[in-house]
């Protein structure tokens, strides 16, 4: 399983999505003082989740 790392800002495309307020607060706390945007954090989290799903599928 890949370890999650806070990413630097990659090129992105705007996409509208709603998040629960507590998730927003926790992400903002996690990226405080980092060279990372909210979007970059979420993108990396989704990438890691997708890789984990692919690994689970290939293990079965």
Please report the DSSP string for 7-57 in residue order.
PP------------HHHHHHHHHHHTTSS--HHHHHHHHHHHHHHHHHHHH
- Kindly report the pTM of this predicted structure: 0.72
Does the pLDDT at position 7 exceed 80?
no
| pLDDT, position 1 | 76
12-56 pLDDT, tens digit each: 778 899 999 999 999 999 999 999 999 889 989 999 999 999 999
Are 5 and 40 in contact by the 8 Å Cβ rule? The answer is no
The 8-class DSSP code of residue 59 comes to H
Token match 């806070």: residue?
Answer: 6
Q: Which has more pLDDT, 3 or 33?
A: 33
Q: What pLDDT is stored for residue 6 in this prediction?
A: 83
């Amino acid at each position: 399983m890949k370890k999650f790392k806070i990413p630097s800002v990659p090129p992105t495309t705007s996409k509208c999505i709603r998040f629960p307020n507590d998730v927003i607060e926790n992400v903002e706390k996690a990226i405080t003082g980092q060279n990372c945007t909210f979007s970059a954090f979420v993108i990396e989290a989704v990438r890691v989740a997708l890789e984990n799903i692919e690994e689970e599928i290939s293990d079965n």
